[in-house]
Structure 1
């Protein structure tokens, strides 16, 4: 239904849209969304306004909002190809491949030469067929774990390999130091040692609860980091600025180690190796990007296949399923990647006992998914998430969770913050994000939190910000599917 709009308002809406375009071009996507919204309020009859806002939402990873804007664009103009395309990209990003394929087919009906729509449609069709095949196999026989079939001792290490080796299955400081230097120089470790690291890490994590207690001994320190997203050189810079993990200096990386950046493999192998070297010096929380759906779209799967093999990616997938979902620091700080549940009665013990390994992939609903996907909001209560998965939770929800579980606060990650961190919900909820200049485009700072024991409160928090460093210029592994992202 078309709304009556004056010529003056049409001109004013177009002018506002141009302001939004400038914000978008300068990568100020929040401001762009606000301006596109203003243009829509003045003139709701232009499908392109909704499609443009959908694109800005996509840049903010608000895929649910992008889908809704795609809906509105095609409602205004059923023949507007870009509306279907933006909606399809939102669904594609959320691994809703069948639905996305329908939209890309409509795009090609109106724009037969749209190469990106063809690529995405082809990928959707292949993925749907592969998933159907895997489901059929799984229903007829017990699918064996790849990790049960790898014999690292049978993998020959060639004499030409010039790196430090793992002897007797034991990861040493010498090996980790050498591995990091190889990674800095864009060299790989031998696949035998990569497999050994992954297998040992999987065994270690599979024996842990879904909620892990972390105690900081006197004169020790714990550093909590947020998303690092494949930005290995920024990740390594944290250690240069703050010191490497040791027996007295532990790190907790709070999910989203992989995807987006081009050096996810280097980060995850470093984290796993440090876990094996210092079991109480490295803690890892699963993020929403340590999942098959995200790894397919955002690059980690393609990166591992390019650098090693599909078998190794499957090994990582099985290992990600063993990662803990949360940590409890000093009995008072709940650390989780996303946030809080849609229920008010969730206890720490319920989280501790989640059978994450059997479930494997978190899906797009339920407690496990919510812990990985939720975001805080300013208003009280809960509301649907613009991401299309999970929900938003207000300060009252955080307050209730803390009081019921006798804790002080929630530290979470999952969202880029311009200053690298943000304190909200009356100090009860902190977001920490450790990928500066996210995706080489956002211009944000990174941050981490140093936690030290204190007699009176039990802990002290110190926030440290840092800037991005130079890194080799490489093409993101997800680039071939990112035309609309």
Structure 2
């Protein structure tokens, strides 16, 4: 059954009901699928393709100071400063405001809609200035962490920030999609990440995930969450429009060549002694939410040229859909996706690095725990809202030229410095994976510098 093809899913459910007419779970799924089909049909019927931008309309409301944009005198939370002269209505983001906002969210506080709109517009301006493929260079003495799939789990998200450190002039964060849906605090997570994007546009990177899409938000909770917290559908429409402007991929590159083999310890991992390097001898990582493509010959320039703001939603075919939905798989080459949308890509014929003639590693999020030989992977039990007690961690290494680093549901963090760590525990040397719930990782430091991989027993 395809998650993005409800009509086909309904046909499958009806076939199952013929075989198992008393299966109540299938009956309920069929009823919900019918409702979804009617809802999508209605939305399609009233959709206006070339209407005015929601962002432009809201900016006009802010500029005119309409009643809906006024901050109540009873509001006790942080206040966003006015913007510069002539742009007072846009607001001005500060680190103090973000810190106060985070503490406010911990206490179940809710920002006035004016501030929500200003944060979204600030992030939107930053996104629109970027290509679909963003190039991020890790400068000397700088660090970057990648966090994937926080899915509305606010306190897990904040715990990750406490380990990595927040964005700053010397520390970057890349949020690799799926910040919303499933959990109850997707809106708060989005506002925090978008506020940092507004404040530090070159130190806060965001890739769009398959859940930053209108269709999935309607099925998995973010639409309902937004409409409950901010009545009406205007704010949700603005979120949807800003999601459409988010980049699709980030290329992380070093400025220096890695440490020479002779300077490494005798027990360094093969990934340290034989790293994957670009033509000029640097480590590079292509970071996407889902994965690679159903056809050969896709280049970085092709990704950069994806007209994401015209396409708006992922659809059911094309490069944009595949970059958000594809999954690593066990089979060599390519295979149909079990999701019913996207492509499975594996070792062998479909080399993970064949998307251009330059070599790089691949870092993805998106998929639940699986085990695939030939691809560097991390296996996790899926994270419930509460702290996990039975999570396990395994690290697999395969062929050096088919490495894929995988992040999962609000549990894992990837951290990189120029020369990489010198860990003895079969990590990839230039990456770190931490499970960072509940307590500090043994041997780790507050700024997220990797010492040793660890997990809950």
Q: TM-score range by the shorter chain?
A: 0.7 to 0.9
Conserved in 1, the CA contact under 8 Å of 2:286 and 2:363? yes
Give, in angstroms, the shift of residue 423 of structure 1: 4.8
Give, in angstroms, the shift of residue 462 of structure 1: 1.7
Aligned to 2:86: none
Q: Could you say if the C-alpha distance between residues 156 and 431 of structure 1 is closer, same or farther in structure 2, counting changes exceeding 3 Å? A: same
CA distance in 2, matches of 1:217, 1:133: 48
1:334 corresponds to 2:286? yes
In the alignment, which of 121, 125, 133 is matched to residue 46 of structure 2? Answer: 133
Give, in angstroms, the shift of residue 65 of structure 1: 11
Conserved in 2, the CA contact under 8 Å of 1:381 and 1:397? yes
Give, in angstroms, the shift of residue 399 of structure 1: 2.4
Q: Could you say if the C-alpha distance between residues 307 and 422 of structure 1 is closer, same or farther in structure 2, counting changes exceeding 3 Å? A: farther
Q: Could you say if the C-alpha distance between residues 398 and 452 of structure 1 is closer, same or farther in structure 2, counting changes exceeding 3 Å? A: farther
Show CA shifts across 1:417-440 (max 9, x none). Answer: 3147865653511111142xxxxx
Structure number with higher relative contact order (C-alpha < 8 Å, ≥ 6 residues apart): 2
Aligned to 2:243: 320
1:449 corresponds to 2:359? no
Aligned to 1:389: 341
Aligned to 1:476: none
Show CA shifts across 1:73-109 (max 9, x none). Answer: 35xx4572649x74984xxxxxxxxxxxxxx4xxxxx
CA distance in 2, matches of 1:257, 1:421: 24
Which blocks of at least 5 consecutive residues in structure 2 are unaligned? 84-90, 254-282, 370-379, 381-391, 423-428, 440-457
- Secondary structure class of the residue paired with 1:334: strand
Conserved in 2, the CA contact under 8 Å of 1:365 and 1:390? yes
- RMSD over equivalenced CA pairs, Å: 3.1
Aligned to 2:322: 370
Count residues with an aligned counterpart: 367
Show CA shifts across 1:325-356 (max 9, x none). Answer: 00000072100000000011100110011111
Aligned to 1:201: 123
Show CA shifts across 1:282-311 (max 9, x none). Answer: 100000000011000000011111111410
Aligned to 2:16: 73
Matches within 5 A, 1:277-316: 277-309=199-231, 310-316=233-239
CA distance in 1, matches of 2:7, 2:300: 29
Give, in angstroms, the shift of residue 163 of structure 1: 2.1
Conserved in 2, the CA contact under 8 Å of 1:258 and 1:268? yes
Matches within 5 A, 1:203-218: 203-218=125-140
Conserved in 1, the CA contact under 8 Å of 2:291 and 2:326? yes
Q: Could you say if the C-alpha distance between residues 306 and 212 of structure 1 is closer, same or farther in structure 2, counting changes exceeding 3 Å? A: same
In the alignment, which of 408, 429, 437 is matched to residue 467 of structure 1? Answer: 437
Conserved in 2, the CA contact under 8 Å of 1:64 and 1:386? no
Aligned to 1:380: 332
- Secondary structure class of the residue paired with 2:434: strand
Q: Which has the larger radius of gyration?
A: 1
Conserved in 1, the CA contact under 8 Å of 2:148 and 2:413? yes
Aligned to 1:429: 404
- Secondary structure class of the residue paired with 1:369: helix
Conserved in 2, the CA contact under 8 Å of 1:423 and 1:429? no
Which blocks of at least 5 consecutive residues in structure 1 are unaligned? 1-53, 90-103, 105-116, 436-445, 470-485
Conserved in 2, the CA contact under 8 Å of 1:63 and 1:387? no
Please, which moves more after superposition, 403-412 or 295-304?
403-412
CA distance in 2, matches of 1:158, 1:447: 39
Question: Given the two structures, how large is their TM-score scaled by the length of structure 2?
Answer: 0.73
